[in-house]
Amino acid sequence: MEPRLNMFENEVAGKFVKRLIAAARPVEETSLPMATQELVKIRASQINGCGMCLDMHTKDAAAAGETAVRLAMVAAWREAVVFTEAERAALALAEEGTRLADAHEGVSDETWAQVRKHYDDEQIGALICLVAMINAWNRLNVITRTPAGEYQPGMFG
């Protein structure tokens, strides 16, 4: 499978993705656990059908010590007993923030209350930015049909 466009070789897209990469740094530097960050990225990418992001974030999570069981259960997180209440709140926010068009209220008050219960303001800001960012990456990769399967952990720095 060949991508429709190599975003790094296209002048406009290349500038944009470099800025998107730089925009991730403030989120990565917060106290939001890296495992939670990867789980959020994986869940949004599952919903959006982004193979490249699933390839990257499942491999990065595994390389950081995430278990195969937890990675396999992300799609069924509501029924899985392997996630903490805080992780469940983050996964609910990821789902509702990704499926904005599916609910007139966007993120429900119930989900927001759970997020507020488990995360401080810095972490909530990071979660919101993370959901927006992974959805942007998903859209870029799905539109351009970026192939998946060859990612190696850390290969993009």
pLDDT digits (tens, 9 = 90+) for 128-152: 999 999 999 999 999 999 999 999 9
The pTM of the full predicted model, rounded to 2 decimals, is 0.94
pLDDT digits (tens, 9 = 90+) for 22-66: 999 999 999 999 999 999 999 999 999 999 999 999 999 999 999
Chain mean pLDDT for the chain? 95
**Do the Cβ atoms of 94 and 46 come closer than 8 Å?**
no
Domain ranges of the chain: 11-144
**Do the Cβ atoms of 153 and 60 come closer than 8 Å?**
yes
**Do the Cβ atoms of 139 and 2 come closer than 8 Å?**
no
pLDDT digits (tens, 9 = 90+) for 106-122: 999 999 999 999 999 99
**Do the Cβ atoms of 36 and 51 come closer than 8 Å?**
no
The CATH superfamily of 11-144 is AhpD-like (1.20.1290.10)
* Residue 157 confidence (pLDDT): 66
pLDDT digits (tens, 9 = 90+) for 71-120: 999 999 999 999 999 999 999 999 999 999 888 889 999 999 999 999 99
